[in-house]
Amino acid sequence: MDSEDDMHDANDLESLDDDFYSGETAMGSDDGDAGYDFVDNESDDSEDITSHRQQQNYTILSEVDIRQHQEEDINRVSIVLSISRSAACILLRHYNWSVSKVHDEWFADEENVRKAVGLLENPVEMQNARELSCGICFENYPHNNMSTAACGHHFCGSCWRGYIGTSISDGPGCLMLRCPDPSCSAAVGQDMINILATDEDKEKYSRYLLRSYIEDNRKTKWCPAPGCDFAVEFVMGSGNYDVCCNCSYNFCWNCTEEAHRPVDCGTVAKWILKNSAESENMNWILANSKPCPKCKRPIEKNQGCMHITCTPPCKYEFCWLCLGAWSEHGERTGGFYACNRYESAKQEGAYDESERRREMAKNSLERYTHYYERWATNQSSRQKALADLHSMQTEKLEKLSDRQSQPESQLKFIIEAWLQIVECRRVLKWTYAYGYYLPEHEHAKRQFFEYLQGEAESGLERLHQCAEKELQVYLDAETPMKDFNDFRTKLAGLTSVTRNYFENLVRALETGLKDVGSSNSQATCSKTSSSKCLGGKSKIGKIKAGGTTSRSGGPSRSLDESNLWSCDQCTYVNPRSTNTCQMCEHRRCTT
Amino acid sequence: MANSNLPRRIIKETQRLLSEPAPGISASPSEDNMRYFNVMILGPTQSPYEGGVFKLELFLPEEYPMAAPKVRFLTKIYHPNIDKLGRICLDILKDKWSPALQIRTVLLSIQALLSAPNPDDPLSDNIAKHWKTNEAEAVETAKEWTRLYASGA
């Protein structure tokens, strides 16, 4: 950690673009216990990635779980403070369902707490009169037909029902209901609701109570997927915000957008806003259209000559170049296809301002389109991969097991490959949002980023290709094929290699590419420090600084560390001591 | 006729308003709609509205008393919590309404609001600003308006 902090301080480029890396990344948190450690699961290759990622920094709660937790909390407070469950419930809701906060506040100043939430200490004695007047409808009722909170303000059953019903239909504020008497603050809790309200209102109240337990609690949130009823309880301060709900939706606990690690929440919010913002439409219109000189509606010139006729009812005819009336055009102006009024006016600088704006808008639009297309393509690739994964799990695996005479338990590597593809497509997608916001002038960072992204992307393409196309051969085969084991080795190898690449990419982005540009050393691809290739147990992670500028980002994969070599087939970096790739068992080419 | 099944509460309230009126306040139901009241409030003594007679209308919605009555000034008045349409900024007419409140309590609250304008929670920004920057002058304007529009003619 020390060295990282030093780098951070030393790197003055970092401060220039704080804006771009603002937001809550897991920056500076301990690399080790983030749930993303694809690398150090050497021992449990068979375990699937999903379960691996669920390293207990969150729990998924079903409605039953939620009610149970809520009951438990209420019971605890009720027992410790010796108050009714209903009172405990009111207290907990007031303190956002934090049991410890309730205890702290209560034992610090019980009187004040009681006052704040409306729990009267000494319930008022019941009046002895046989008949009482309801303070709302002014009717007289026998004593036993009236109800009151602890304060002794009596109202009749029908007025209570109306009062409670009005409050419940106004929303979750009903959980803080007080006595109808305007001068009285006595709380009306669930016990009274259950006696006095209609069945429908009781049910609504109970739902509000359940929702409150999730929504008012700092540690819990609903899964944002449409129609999903699960909630997530998150352990604060555990770094990684990625959450995978039981409904299989992946989202960021912090901003509740879909999972976007390694890109920070701020960048994601900006990107999503940009994608939806009208501004891009405006940019397009600006770049590709000119307003009709007469009616000012924007016109896109998608073909044809410079003679434009605006659509009815305007029908104005004008020259696209100089925007002058077409009636003034002809031989005089240099012919119909070359308006020299435009050329000369351009030379005089008359058109410069609007032209330049158009030009700029076009450039920025093209840049945005570049990133957006790649972002969107990976998004749809991921959807496709998810569908493929599903069909693999539900039908194809069985078929393959049948065709190749392999027990399904031996085919887990295929599922693992697909899970890896799905995850990588997600990461890759978000790196395009990251790339869009990476400042142009940070050349070293851009170069390094694009290098890592390129490596990761080509690794993923190889993996995707292998899992999609090459697997098909074995699915189509009528009889078991001898080289199935080779395929297994290759696919498993590619899965692992791709995992490494993405691990590097994720780590580099999460540290804001800060290993680049400090002093005179350039970072090299961190695969050289992978724990596997060095044969050590140390985790991957710190990107080694070293090497020279010319090497980073270059296409050459020759690595001059004398004790390493890179496999021709899968590009895995192996120690020199072996002649066979540890990943794919391809023999080293020694020329 | 809408009056045929008027809740007992409204009938009782109306009777009491007529038999024991609050000082400085009168409220009488309209003949053809028992939920609609013509209200008059006398400007409280020692307020800029002293000597004025202010007309208001008050309507009890279907949900009354679960929902608050709707009240509005008909007489023009210079007051930071009352806008030019006569709408009143008063908590018990909004979120602080309780079914245990009554027409009488609402009108007494409005009378109190005339005695104690609250420019920190204004409905009319201009008047509130005037009140805060130069209270003496604003009070003069309020007196002027009372003379002009609420002289009881």
Q: How high is the pLDDT of residue A541?
A: 37
Banded model confidence at residue B30, pLDDT cuts 50, 70, 90: very high
Measured between CB atoms, which of B9, B63, B98 is closest to A182? B98
Does the structure show a pLDDT above 60 at B53? yes
pLDDT tens digit sequence for B5-29: 788 899 999 999 999 999 999 999 9
Mean pLDDT of B82-98: 89
B66/A166 Cβ within 8 A: yes
Picking from A137, A165, A181, the nearest residue to B98 by CB comes out as A181
Residue B12 with chain A: CB contacts under 8 Å: 138
Domain ranges in chain B? 2-149
pTM for this predicted structure: 0.62
Architecture of domain B2-149: Roll (3.10)
Cβ of A135 within 8 Å of Cβ of B65? The answer is no
Report how far Cα A417 is from the mean position of its chain's Cα atoms: 22
Residue of B nearest to A170 (CA): B95
Evaluated on CA atoms A388, A394, A396, A397, the torsion sign reads positive
Contacts of A180 in chain B (CB under 8 A): 98-100
A153-187 as b/e: b if 16+ CB within 10 A: bbbbeebbebbbbbbbeeebebbebbbbbbebbbb
Angle at which helices A352-391 and A265-276 pack, to 10 degrees? 110
Kindly report the nearest CA distance between residue A181 and chain B, in angstroms: 5
Interface test with chain A among B8, B9, B93, by most A beta carbons within 10 Å? B9
Q: A589 touching B, CB under 8 A?
A: no
The pLDDT of residue A535 is 36
Tokens at residue B55, please? 């007309």
Question: Which residues between 52 and 111 in chain B have a beta carbon less than 8 angstroms from any beta carbon of chain A?
Answer: 63, 65-67, 92, 96, 98-101, 105
Cβ–Cβ gap A162/B99 under 8 Å: yes
Write down the catalytic residue from A137, A247, A295, A305: A305
Q: Is the pLDDT of residue B3 over 90?
A: no
The verdict on a CB contact (< 8 Å) between B9 and A162 is: no
Read off the pLDDT of residues B73-85 as tens digits, 9 standing for 90 and up: 999 999 999 988 9
Question: Mutate which of A133, A134, A137 to disrupt the B interface (most B C-beta within 10 Å)?
Answer: A137
Name the minimum distance, in Å, from the CA of B138 to any CA of chain A. 33
Indicate yes or no: CB of B99 within 8 angstroms of CB of A139: no
Q: Is A135 in CB contact (< 8 Å) with chain B? A: yes
Contact B105 A136 (CB under 8 A): no
B contact test, residue of A132, A134, A136, A159 with most B CBs within 10 A: A136
Distance CA A440, CA A216 (A): 42
* Partner residue opposite B66 with nearest CB, options A135, A163, A181: A163
Cβ contact B8–A159 (<8 Å): no
In the predicted structure, residue B136 carries a pLDDT above the cut 60: yes
Residues of B in contact with A181 (CB under 8 A): 98, 100
Q: Position of tokens 């130069």? A: B134
Whether the Cβ atoms of residue B111 and residue B24 lie closer than 8 Å to each other: yes
Cβ-defined contact of A159 to B96 (cutoff 8 Å): no
Selecting from B66, B96, B100 the residue whose C-beta is nearest the C-beta of A162 gives B66
What pLDDT score was predicted for residue A302? 67
Q: What is the rounded CA–CA span in Å between residue A91 and residue A102?
A: 7
pLDDT of residue A530: 36
b vs e for A262-272, b when ≥16 Cβ sit within 10 Å of the residue's Cβ? bbbbbbbebbe
CB spacing of A166 vs B13 below 8 angstroms: no
CB contact under 8 A, A162 and B92: no
Active site (annotated) includes residue A305: yes
Among the partner-chain residues A136, A139, A162, the one whose CB lies closest to the CB of B100 is A136
The reported pLDDT for the residue numbered A334 is 52
What does the buried/exposed string (b/e) look like for A26-36 if buried means 16 or more CB atoms within 10 Å of the residue's CB?
bbeeebeebbb
Q: Taking CB atoms and an 8 Å cutoff, what residues of chain A touch B13?
A: 138
Chain B neighbors of A135, CB-CB under 8 A: 100
Give residue A91's pLDDT.
94
> What is the ipTM metric for this complex?
0.83
Q: What is the pLDDT along chain A (591 residues), one digit of tens a residue?
A: 344 444 443 333 333 333 333 334 434 334 434 334 343 433 444 344 444 444 568 999 999 999 999 999 999 999 999 999 999 999 999 999 999 999 999 999 999 999 999 998 776 666 667 788 898 988 889 988 889 998 889 999 999 999 999 999 988 889 999 999 988 989 999 999 999 999 999 999 999 999 999 999 888 999 999 999 999 999 877 678 888 899 888 899 888 888 888 888 888 888 887 877 655 666 666 667 777 777 777 777 766 566 777 877 777 887 776 777 777 766 555 555 556 555 566 666 656 666 766 777 667 777 787 888 888 888 888 988 989 999 988 888 888 888 888 888 888 899 999 999 999 999 999 999 998 888 878 888 888 888 888 888 888 988 988 888 888 888 888 888 888 888 889 999 999 999 998 988 888 888 887 766 543 333 343 333 333 333 333 333 333 333 333 333 333 344 445 677 777 766 667 777 777 777 677 777 654
Output A524-532 pairs: Cβ under 8 A, ≥24 positions apart: A524/A551, A524/A552, A524/A559, A525/A451, A525/A452, A525/A455, A525/A552, A527/A455, A527/A500, A527/A501, A527/A573, A528/A559, A528/A561, A528/A564, A528/A573, A530/A39, A530/A500, A530/A573, A531/A39, A531/A40, A532/A39, A532/A42, A532/A500, A532/A582
Residue B140 confidence class, pLDDT cut points 50, 70, 90? very high
Instruction: Find all residues with CB under 8 Å of A546, minimum gap 6, and list them.
Output: A521, A523, A524
pLDDT value of residue A481? 81
Who among A162, A165, A181 is closest to B100 (CB)? Answer: A181
Under a CB-based contact definition with an 8 Å cutoff, are residues A178 and A188 in contact?
Answer: yes
Inter-chain CB pairs, A–B, below 8 Å:
38
Q: What is the pLDDT of residue A322?
A: 73
- Cβ-Cβ contacts under 8 Å, B112 against chain A: none
pLDDT grade, residue B55 (50/70/90)?
very high
Distances (CA, A) of A405 to A46, A402, A488: 19, 5, 14
- Cα distance from A136 to chain B (closest Cα, Å)? 5
Distance from CA of B101 to the nearest CA of A (A): 7
The strand pairing partners of A564, in sequence order, are: A575
Please tell me the predicted confidence (pLDDT) of residue A532: 35
Percent of chain B with pLDDT over 70: 96
Q: Tell me the chain A residues in contact with residue B98 when contact means C-beta distances shorter than 8 Å.
A: 180-182
Q: Parallel, antiparallel, or unpaired for β A155-156 and A146-147?
A: antiparallel
Q: Please list every residue in chain B whose beta carbon sits closer than 8 Å to the beta carbon of residue A136.
A: 9, 65, 99-100
CB contact under 8 A, B105 and A139: no
Query: Exactly one of B89, B101, B108, B139 is catalytic; which is it?
Result: B89
Q: What is the pLDDT of residue A157?
A: 93
CB < 8 Å to B67, chain A: 166
Ramachandran bin of A406, using left for φ above 0, alpha for ψ from -120 to 50, beta for the remaining angles: beta
Out of B8, B63, B92, whose CB is closest to A137? B8
Assess B10–A contact: CB distance below 8 Å, yes or no: no
